[in-house]
């Protein structure tokens, strides 16, 4: 494809922080993409922005790099999405995008995939599948219903998650929206201090403890089962946020746990509440504890801050990989990690960030690579992507 125009602007993410939006013109059509930010970001993620004293300066610098170093190059010649990504990686020249920033690169990478899709006259998810050799297919939305930790709120566990099994994405999205609204009703009854507050990802904030929350979600599970659905309950412990270098400090619960005690506790929670999904139960370098837990529970144990979407960090013996493209900086690097995860027999969960944007592309990416789950929240700005799953669902059902 020939790129005839390129421009960048600074827009806002869901945390009211600046981020980059890129537009590329192909055959008279402007393909637009913007990039998210994390809050409980893993320490091994690529650098999101070029070095600067604060986020405003960093994003302004990213815009200048795009205008002065990236756009003049990509306005020449003929490009495949993969070649755009290779050029971005070469231009930066470091493994962790410390010069130009992973988000600077990713905005171009996604816009190029959308431009390619326009040129080929196919939907974005199909363009992802064609460009990188995946079989696209329906994903199961995995939604954050109750939360806290670094996302704001009382609970030590960052996210309490719910999914239903099925193949019709529109039906799964609507079913979960009912369950999310039901959860609010149950919280109103159980928590005298409940005021309807939400975390950064629009999960409900409650003063109830872990046990009480999981009991509420078990009631939700029963309700869904009565409707004929098989339910997956999960947690994202985001344990790197609890780890003080020696112990896991559960502030709200007023408990400190050694690694051994943490393993024991998570195992008990998993058994007692029949959890099907456990993300980041240990800090981001403790591969061994992830493996020990995986060997002793039915749930899939998933690495987010542990793997940071880096194909070289994936290890056998851990059941699932979380995939966040801005942990790596380009779609090319991200799809390599998805492929490696599949080689290792892992469950693949494509995930949003707490600082999301109004770009629906993540829904297409999840479907395009044929992921198992799409972790994209339940309400607020998250509905941009859920509604896109509903639209894609119609195309897949055709
Ligand atoms: P984030 O975390 O705040 O870094 O996006 C979400 C998660 O841990 O899954
Ligand atoms: Zn996580």
The per-residue pLDDT for 326 is: 96
Q: What is the sign, positive or negative, of the torsion defined by CA atoms of 71, 75, 76, 77?
A: positive
Question: DSSP character for 356?
Answer: -
45 Cβ closer than 6 Å to some ligand 1 atom? no
Cα–Cα distance between 31 and 119 in angstroms, integer?
10
Pick the closest to residue 59 from 69, 74, 48 (CA basis): 48
Average pLDDT estimate for 386-393:
98
41 Cβ closer than 6 Å to some ligand 1 atom? yes
Strand 320-323 versus strand 300-303 pairing type: parallel
pLDDT of 398 higher than 90: no
Residues in the chain, overall count: 398
CA distances from 105 to 20, 117, 305 (A): 10, 19, 21
Ligand whose nearest atom lies closest to the CA of 307: 2
Question: DSSP character for 69?
Answer: I
Q: Is 84 left (phi over 0), alpha (psi -120 to 50) or beta?
A: alpha
Compute, in angstroms, the gap from residue 49 CA to the centroid of ligand 2: 21
Average pLDDT estimate for 54-71:
98
User: Do residues 308 and 322 lie in contact, with contact meaning Cβ atoms separated by under 8 Å?
Assistant: no
User: For residue 161, which phi and psi values (nearest 5 degrees)?
Assistant: -115, 150
Tens digits of residue pLDDT in 304-327: 999 999 999 999 999 999 999 999
Residues forming the active site: 201, 324
| 248 Cβ contact partners less than 8 Å away, ≥ 6 residues apart | 239, 242, 256, 257, 258, 259, 261, 262
| 342 Cβ contact partners less than 8 Å away, ≥ 6 residues apart | 348
User: What are the extents of the domains in the chain?
Assistant: 5-121, 140-397
Give the number of other CB atoms < 10 A from CB of residue 151.
23
Going by CA atoms, what residue is nearest to atom 4 of ligand 1? 38
Straight-line distance from the first to the last Cα atom of the chain, in angstroms, rounded to the nearest whole number: 29
Compute, in angstroms, the gap from residue 129 CA to the centroid of ligand 1: 26
Ligand 1 atom at shortest distance from the alpha carbon of 36 = 5
Q: Is 76 left (phi over 0), alpha (psi -120 to 50) or beta?
A: beta
CATH of domain 5-121: 3.30.390.10
Task: Pick from 39, 155, 355, 377 the residue to mutate for probing ligand 1's pocket: most ligand atoms within 8 Å of its CB.
Answer: 39
Strand order in the sheet with 18-26: 5-12, 18-26, 29-34
Task: Pick from 13, 37, 152, 158 the residue to mutate for probing ligand 1's pocket: most ligand atoms within 8 Å of its CB.
Answer: 158
114 Cβ closer than 6 Å to some ligand 1 atom? no
Cα–Cα distance between 74 and 6 in angstroms, integer?
8
User: Do residues 153 and 252 lie in contact, with contact meaning Cβ atoms separated by under 8 Å?
Assistant: no
Ligand 1 atom at shortest distance from the alpha carbon of 352 = 5
Check: pTM over 0.75? Answer yes or no.
yes
Ligand 1 atom at shortest distance from the alpha carbon of 41 = 4
The per-residue pLDDT for 172 is: 98
What architecture is the 140-397 domain classified under in CATH? Alpha-Beta Barrel (3.20)
User: Do residues 140 and 166 lie in contact, with contact meaning Cβ atoms separated by under 8 Å?
Assistant: yes
Cα–Cα distance between 211 and 199 in angstroms, integer?
19
Compute, in angstroms, the gap from residue 1 CA to the centroid of ligand 2: 36
The per-residue pLDDT for 388 is: 98
| 385 Cβ contact partners less than 8 Å away, ≥ 6 residues apart | 352, 356, 360, 362, 363, 374, 376, 377
Give the pLDDT band (50/70/90) at residue 205: very high
The per-residue pLDDT for 119 is: 96
337 Cβ closer than 6 Å to some ligand 1 atom? no
The per-residue pLDDT for 278 is: 99
Task: Pick from 304, 321, 322, 381 the residue to mutate for probing ligand 1's pocket: most ligand atoms within 8 Å of its CB.
Answer: 304
Average pLDDT value over all residues in the chain: 98
Tens digits of residue pLDDT in 117-156: 999 999 999 999 999 999 999 999 999 999 999 999 999 9
CA distances from 57 to 1, 97, 104, 125 (A): 33, 17, 13, 34
Q: Rg of the Cα trace of the chain? A: 21
CA distances from 140 to 200, 230, 340, 373 (A): 22, 12, 21, 5
Give the pLDDT band (50/70/90) at residue 342: very high
In order, the DSSP letters of 132-168 are HT------EEEEEEEE-GGGSSS-SSSEEEEEE--S-
In order, the DSSP letters of 287-355 are HHHHHHHHHH-SSEEEESTTTTT-GGG--TT--EEEE-GGGTSSHHHHHHHHHHHHHTT-EEEEE--SB
Compute, in angstroms, the gap from residue 321 CA to the centroid of ligand 2: 10
């Amino acid at each position: 494809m020939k790129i005839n125009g390129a421009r960048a602007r600074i827009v806002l993410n869901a945390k009211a922080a600046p981020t980059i939006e890129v537009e590329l013109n192909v055959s008279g059509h402007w393909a637009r993409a913007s990039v998210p930010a994390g809050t409980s970001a893993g320490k091994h993620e690529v650098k999101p922005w070029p070095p600067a004293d604060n986020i405003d300066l960093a994003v302004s610098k990213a815009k200048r790099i795009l205008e002065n170093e990236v756009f003049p190059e990509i306005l020449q010649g003929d490009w495949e999405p993969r070649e755009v990504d290779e050029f971005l990686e070469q231009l930066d020249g470091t493994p962790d995008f410390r010069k130009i920033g992973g988000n600077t690169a990713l905005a171009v990478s996604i816009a190029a995939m959308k431009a390619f899709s326009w040129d080929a006259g196919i939907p974005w998810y199909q363009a992802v599948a064609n460009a990188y050799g995946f079989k696209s297919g329906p994903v199961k939305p995995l939604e954050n219903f109750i939360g806290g930790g670094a996302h704001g709120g009382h609970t030590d566990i960052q996210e309490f998650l719910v999914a239903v099994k099925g193949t019709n994405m529109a039906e799964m999205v609507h079913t979960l929206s009912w369950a999310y609204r039901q959860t609010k009703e149950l919280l109103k009854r159980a928590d005298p201090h409940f005021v309807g507050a939400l975390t950064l990802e629009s999960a409900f904030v409650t003063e109830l403890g872990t046990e009480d929350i999981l009991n509420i979600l078990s009631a939700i599970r029963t309700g869904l089962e009565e409707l004929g659905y098989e339910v997956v309950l999960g947690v994202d412990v985001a344990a790197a946020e609890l780890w003080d270098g020696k112990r896991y400090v559960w502030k709200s619960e007023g408990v400190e746990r050694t690694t051994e005690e943490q393993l024991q506790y998570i195992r008990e929670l998993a058994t007692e509440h029949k959890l099907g999904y456990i993300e980041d139960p240990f800090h981001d370098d403790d591969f061994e504890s992830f493996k020990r837990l995986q060997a002793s529970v039915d749930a899939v144990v998933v690495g987010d801050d542990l793997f940071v979407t880096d194909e070289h960090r994936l290890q056998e013996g851990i059941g699932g990989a979380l995939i966040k493209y801005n942990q790596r900086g380009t779609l090319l690097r991200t799809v390599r990690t998805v492929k490696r995860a599949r080689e290792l027999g892992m469950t693949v969960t494509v995930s949003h960030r707490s600082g999301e944007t109004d770009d629906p592309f993540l829904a297409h990416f999840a479907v395009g690579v044929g992921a198992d789950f799409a972790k994209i929240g339940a309400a607020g700005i998250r509905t941009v992507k859920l509604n896109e799953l509903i639209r894609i669902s119609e195309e897949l059902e055709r």
